[in-house]
Amino acid sequence: MFSPGLFLTAAGVGLAVAAPVGPMGMLCIRRTLTDGPRAGLAIGFGIAGGDAFYGLIAALGLVSVSQFMLAYDKPLHIVAGLFLLYLGIRTMLQKVPADNGINSGNNNGGNGEGRLASIGHAGALKAFASALLLTLTNPQTIIMFAALFTTLAPRGPFSSSVAFTTVLGVFCGSIAWWCFLVTAVSLARHAIGHKLRVVIDRIAGFALAAFGVAEVRRAI
């Protein structure tokens, strides 16, 4: 049976895990600025999907799974760190298009919007997969949900409705934050000129690379 109290608790956990500014937030902001809200939302859905997966583990009370993943904390740091370092370097070296399809739809009969949509389908799927992978291998996410097991783990006997409510709540709380972030960045995106977008892109790339180096150093 659906429990509003459990749903709100799980949603609060999902929001608390998603809201702190970190590498995933930087990645979401950067992709929203360069590729539009579709790419940003794909990142957000990938992160929320990973958060919901750990919410399911909490609901099922699979402490052994959490302990196993925490036992491989150092390899996860290295994998996540190297991937973030790769994304950061690629971001710093990637050229930002002159108008990025924001205003070109007014200048050439809507081709700008068509271009944005054409990169959206393949790019969004790739962005979703990369964000999901990063979230599932993010040691901070694993540790945070392990600490929150006492909050999310059911007090009574396990039921499918408890698991469903927990996963739904964590996902809704997480995706609510990413929708808010993408909306805010998208509104600002139309007012940001090309030069400022280049500066933001370089800063985001440097930040992602720095987060990657920090993750690798934690494993050494």
The two counts, helices (H) then strands (E), for the chain are 11, 0
Tens of pLDDT, residue by residue over 88-109, are: 888 787 776 555 444 444 444 4
3-state secondary structure of 103: coil
Count the neighbouring beta carbons within 10 Å of the beta carbon of residue 211. 21
- Residue for token digits 């402490």? 63
Token pair for residue 211? 């987060």
- Residue for token digits 């934690």? 218
CA atoms within 13 A on the CB side of 219: 21
**What residues of the chain score a pLDDT lower than 70?**
1-2, 58-59, 61-73, 96-120, 139-140, 142-159, 193-194
Token pair for residue 193? 């000129």
Average pLDDT score, the chain: 75
pTM (two decimals): 0.70
Domain residue ranges of the chain, discontinuous segments joined by +: 4-219
Tens of pLDDT, residue by residue over 206-218, are: 887 887 788 788 7
